[in-house]
Amino acid sequence: MRDAPGMIEDKIRQLASGPNFGTIATLLSDGSPATHVMWVDCDDEHMLVNTETGRAKFANIERDPRVSIVVWNADDPYDYVEVRGKVVETMAGAEARAHIDELSHKYHGKAYSNPIETERVILRVAPERQRS
Amino acid sequence: MRDAPGMIEDKIRQLASGPNFGTIATLLSDGSPATHVMWVDCDDEHMLVNTETGRAKFANIERDPRVSIVVWNADDPYDYVEVRGKVVETMAGAEARAHIDELSHKYHGKAYSNPIETERVILRVAPERQRS
């Protein structure tokens, strides 16, 4: 059932589950695009990124939830996927704090130790178009 | 005079001049973002990417010239830069064909050999905000 509507496609899940980097494009207040390099993750039906509530990209998605996420194979950037969709849920609190530790373990094998200036928050992105 | 208004900042020029990959975020007809992984280049005052006239991203920038280009260090994706701005000129023809060969040499040490389906075109992007 991986290819059921709303499910993240296998190829995208595979790249997003590994220690591969991505970008998220969000929309500024004038509608122009901004892009950030990010750690990435997914669940069965969403792409997941973890940011802070004080960051510009969080303000952007609160204003307009439309995003584009690209993930490339760390060993081969020609091997990349894109998910276009909307942030359908944001989750702060303990869940987001635990998730940034999970991501840090995935990418670096240890808990997250960078300073947290505001509050960690998970952006849950429902796909509308998947390119893989 | 590298930091004069309109000049590409040194750090960005350095990454864009090497065989580092980037993304370009463009706007679809409904204003939502789309992102592609690209080869990248720059001159003194512009970021340069090379696409084809038949590609969706070319249609996007003809409709709305606002883009965001990210370039990351191929050896360290935490080391990345972003340029937000507008496509101020497009150049097809012999110049664009020669430029894709230059890019291919930069990334792979040989002339471009992929099929060209429509026509190569250079997008010349004037920066409005540079993050490095």
Give domain status of residue A49, yes or no: yes
- Taking only the tens place, the pLDDT of each residue in A21-39 is 999 999 999 999 999 999 9
Q: What's the gap in Å between the CA of B84 and the closest CA on chain A?
A: 7
From the list B32, B14, B109, the residue with the least C-alpha distance to A68 is: B32
Chain B: nearest CA to A4, how far in angstroms?
A: 23
Strands of the sheet containing B120-131, edge to edge, are B33-39, B21-27, B66-73, B76-91, B120-131, B47-52, B41-42
Does B27 sit within 8 Å of A33, measured CB to CB? yes
pLDDT value at residue A92: 97
Pick the more confident residue, A67 or A3. Answer: A67
Q: What is the model's pLDDT at position B120?
A: 97
Task: Decide if pLDDT at A67 tops 60.
Answer: yes
Considering the domain boundaries, does residue B17 fall inside one? yes
The pLDDT of residue B1 is 42
Compute the count of residue pairs across chains A and B with CB atoms less than 8 Å apart.
Answer: 77
Query: B71 and B21 in contact (C-beta within 8 Å)?
Result: yes
pLDDT at A1: 42
Q: Is residue A59 in a domain?
A: yes
Three-class SS of residue A104?
helix
- What mean pLDDT is predicted for residues A82-105? 97
Kindly provide the ipTM of the predicted complex, given to two decimals. Answer: 0.95
Q: Within a domain: residue B1?
A: no
Residue A132 CB-half CA count within 13 A: 17
Q: Computed from CA positions of residues A57, A49, A128, B62, in that sequence, does the dihedral angle turn out positive or negative? A: positive
**Once rounded to an integer, what is the mean pLDDT over residues B107-114?**
94
| B110 assigned to some structural domain | yes
Query: pLDDT tens digits, residue range B33-67?
Result: 999 999 999 999 999 999 999 999 999 999 999 99
How confident is the model over B2-22, as pLDDT tens digits? 456 689 999 999 999 999 999
How many domains are contained in chain B? Answer: 1
Beta strands A33-39; A66-73: pairing state: unpaired
pLDDT value of position B4: 63
Q: Which domain holds residue B18?
A: 10-131
Position A5 scores a pLDDT of: 67
Which of B67, B74, B78 lies closest to A33 in CB terms?
Answer: B67
CATH, residue B79: 2.30.110.10
Average pLDDT, chain B: 95
Q: Is residue B3 in a domain?
A: no
Alpha-carbon span B18 to B51, nearest angstrom:
19
Does residue A21 belong to any structural domain of this protein? yes
